Chain A
Amino acid sequence: MGSVKIEHLNKQFNGNTALEDVNLEIQEGEFFALLGPSGCGKTTTMRCVAGFETPTSGSIFIGDRNVNQIPANQRNCGMVFQSYALFPHLNVFENVAYSLNIRRFYEGGFGTKLSTLAHLLNRRLGKVDRATEQKVRDALDFVELGHLADRLPGQLSGGQQQRVALARALVMEPAVLLMDEPLSNLDKKLRNVMRVTIRQIQQKVGITTIFVTHDQEEAMSMADRVAVMHGGRLVQVDTPTALYSNPANKFVADFVGSSNILNGTVKGVNDSGETLIEIGDNRFLRSTYPTNKKDVEVIIRPESIRLLTSEKAADDENILDGTIELSTYLGPTIRYDVKVGELRFEVDTVFEAGSPILPSGTRVKLQIDPNRVVAL
């Protein structure tokens, strides 16, 4: 088990910069997600940790060990590939046993070496020792696949292949578990199941895990901390909740969940220390978010706006008048597109059985909590 530390990591491919000064510290036992659009460098970062890419500069530590000079096969990083990369000619048992056999091959005497190699080439030659057998059985039981040990990977469903890949990586008791978009080949329903499964397994084993994904929902729901990457750089490293409520910039706000993003001008600070921001048409919003800029981007999550239909609410409480343009029923929530003057707001409200869905054209008031108005 080990922590991972990345210092000033740079990587260039034929003069193109893929990573620029990436610094990360991942705690022991942490479930850490690398999140970003394709081409942002998240996979490259992981491959540098795994040892499949050589950094142009910078250092990588696994535990206390600087692994820069250590070849990939000696880094003790378990890896789960996007395509699972199961060995198609070996059955499930042999796939999982592979790393243990390899270890036996390297550590054993000449006779052991020979018999292990023969066994790796043809399962009928030589035998696995009892310790290996037990470990593989345990690993397969752990992912609930003990009954499929004799199948070939081609005979398994996507989710089962995924679990074999996981068992194969875990059985070697790696210092770090690396997962490269492991859920992207599964259908939506299975993906949600596997999310929970992977998280549970990770918690049970307590292994440091780096998880690469482009799906913000995946990252937010599984990880202890998330690093958002963009253009080869780290944009923000935070817990999912902090990332959501306090995005470091417009990119993060936009990438993580949906947001209303407006341009505003800071007009001053009121008595209670709140920033007063004009968002056009003589409309003002109060924000508890401190800023020292004049022109700001105002970010408001759709679910942090309250929709009022009564006329009673006082005018000065961060309330805007608007008209519903479109109502979209999403199951648990309803999304209203509300027009306020020239501005448009997306507002999410919880759907309650019995209460009606407001039709287009309904005049409404939008109440926005100053605590949830982010000004950047």
Chain B
Amino acid sequence: MKRLTAKLNGLTVLKWLIYLFFFVFLLVPLFSILLVSFTGQPVNIFGSFTSQKIFDSTIKKLSNISVEAYTSIFSEGNSYFAALMNSLKLGTGVAVLVTVIVLPIAYAFARTKMPFKSFFAALCTIPLIMPTFISSHAFVLMFGKTGWVTQLYHSFGGEGVIFDVQSMLGIVLVQVFFFFPYALWPMVAAFKICDVTLEEASQNLGAKSWYTFLRVTLPLAVPGIVSSMLLIFTVSFSDFGTPIILAPKELNLIVVESYREIAGFFNWAGSAVLTVIMLLVAAFFFWLQRLVIKGREYGTISGKPTKQKLNDHKGTIAGLTIYTFLVMLVPILALGSIFLSSIATTWGHHALPDGYTMSHYKTIFSTSGKNIWNSMVLAAGTLVLSVVISTFVSYFVVRRGSGGLDFVSSIPLIVPGIALGIALIQTFNTAPIHLTGTALLLIIAYTIRRMPYMIRSTMSSMMAIRKDIEEAAVSLGASSLIAAITVIGPLMLPGIAAGAILVFVTVIKETSISILLAPTEWAPMSLAVFQNLLRGEYYTACAMAILIIVIVIILQALAKKITKDQLY
């Protein structure tokens, strides 16, 4: 007994509270969705422990467990099966295309004397700050029936549209041009770590440079390339913003299908099955990616900094520079289109808007002020919750070697936003813990979804603090908890602040969770944009989108500044 009380100090209690948080809001919902996928009916797990009646009905439902929902998927003509296949095709297509398109750019960054590298690197952030459903709308503004690119095309004598934006091809193209930065930097790294001496050996033996590239450089970079390909697959597979805007009715994609099942038909069983499948696919590819890069991370760090001989062949460089610029031009034009639309009176008769006005901005500030406020409140709430949890999680993981918390807190990496949303709705839509439709559940969902990224940021600043600083505080009389609060906390502040801002940013951008979970009175900006798009109020949607993008840019610049200014 004495040992028990001795062990129950403040920190241990905290650790178990964090475990409890993940258990209630992540593990139980995921488990419950798994149960529902077998029973075909909603199961109230928490209720089963508070009410005998619910418990009995749960038991009854559990006795009806069957795998029918899964087996029927593979029967002919099942729409779920088609959705899964389409999503797999989409992910594969995007992953392959991105790799092919990015490969020359990565090579140019890593191995050539291409000019404007830092300028191009800055341009690369544009795709990342635009929520995908806004990028999708931008593509409609460009390539749609009345899009300005289409207008230009007509003026050169073309007819109809260049391609149908509202199609699989449209989705693929949007994702390719807005996800490529995810693949670019890992690939640049892959090219950089290749041993240059091997290339020189190859050239020394008389090989031409293109031959050296194909037979030596490329094979050495393959693991890095494959890993980023798998990453792109997962991102594309889980992306909700693009398909919800661009997928035509007849095109089933698993994210859209599961959203329709839950939001349109309240089909618990169907959405549960789709969620489980989504999770399994995402987890599998995540695992595959880990497998590919396993054991390679050290090699990159401890590798001897060999001096790179950069390719300075004029023709190659000119070609690569133009190519890189063209690829980056697409997101810039997309952003420009959104901006023009936000200040256009009307647009669609000519390549340029018919007139310009600021009235859309006035409109959003007068009618959608509540959405802006909601976004701020929700993002601030998420920020506070994320900071507290991730700071202590990284403390336990780094200082106390808590592998359990490390594992639990990285689970959200493999849970697509839409899947997390569905799991949370199903678990918390009735008593005893009725949270669906509250801001709290929204905040919790955002927190869990962004937790792995936040933890990465706090963990690295935790690792930078020497252990003896903490021991010094303890030897001076502070308990571990007080030492953590008074010494470790303040020292981690820059890292925490930077991470917190990024959490704020992603919450403002977040689409899938907002669309699924946000009640009307708590609708954030992203949801307002989405609803305006659905209602056909394109100009105000664009104005709001520009507002989101501006906020994101400012905050990201701030985060970058904080991490750069080392305080001590």
Contacts and interface: CB of A to CB of B under 8 A. Distances in A.
A73 B468 contact: no
B466 to A, nearest CB: 7
Contacts of B479: 71, 73
B521 interface: no
Contact of B491 (A79, A88, A154): A88
A236 B125 CA distance: 65
Interface string B474-494: 111111101101110111000
Nearest to A178: B475
Contacts of B466: 83, 85
Contact of B477 (A50, A103, A154): A103
Interface string A158-193: 000000000011001000001000000000000000
B486 A120 contact: yes
Contacts of A103: 477
Interface residues of B, number: 24
Interface range, A side: 20 to 34
Nearest to A105: B482
A260 interface: no
B468 to A, nearest CB: 4
A307 interface: no
A98 interface: yes
Interface in A39-77: 50, 52, 69, 71-74, 76-77
Nearest to B568: A88
Contacts of A172: 476-477
Interface string A255-290: 000000000000000000000000000000000000
Interface string B488-509: 0111000000000000000000
B431 interface: no
**Max chain A CB contacts within 10 Å: which of B479, B486, B487, B567?**
B486
A87 B487 contact: yes
A22 interface: no
Nearest to B9: A71
A89 B566 CA distance: 12
B471 interface: yes
Contact of B568 (A76, A117, A121, A154): A154
Interface string A190-209: 00000000000000000000
A81 to B, nearest CB: 5
A99 interface: yes
A89 B475 contact: no
B59 interface: no
A81 B482 contact: no
A87 B478 contact: no
B476 A85 contact: no
A343 interface: no
B475 A77 contact: yes
A120 B484 CA distance: 12
A184 to B, nearest CB: 14
Contacts of B480: 73
B473 interface: yes
B472 interface: yes
Given A102-B482, A117-B486, A87 B472 contact: yes
Nearest to A174: B475
A81 B474 contact: no
Interface of B: 6, 466, 468-469, 471-480, 482-483, 485-487, 489-491, 567-568
The 9 tightest CB contacts between A and B, nearest first, are: A99-B476, A85-B472, A79-B475, A85-B468, A88-B568, A120-B486, A102-B477, A81-B468, A73-B474
15 contacts: A71-B479, A73-B476, A73-B479, A79-B475, A85-B468, A88-B469, A88-B491, A102-B478, A102-B486, A105-B482, A120-B486, A121-B485, A169-B475, A169-B476, A172-B477
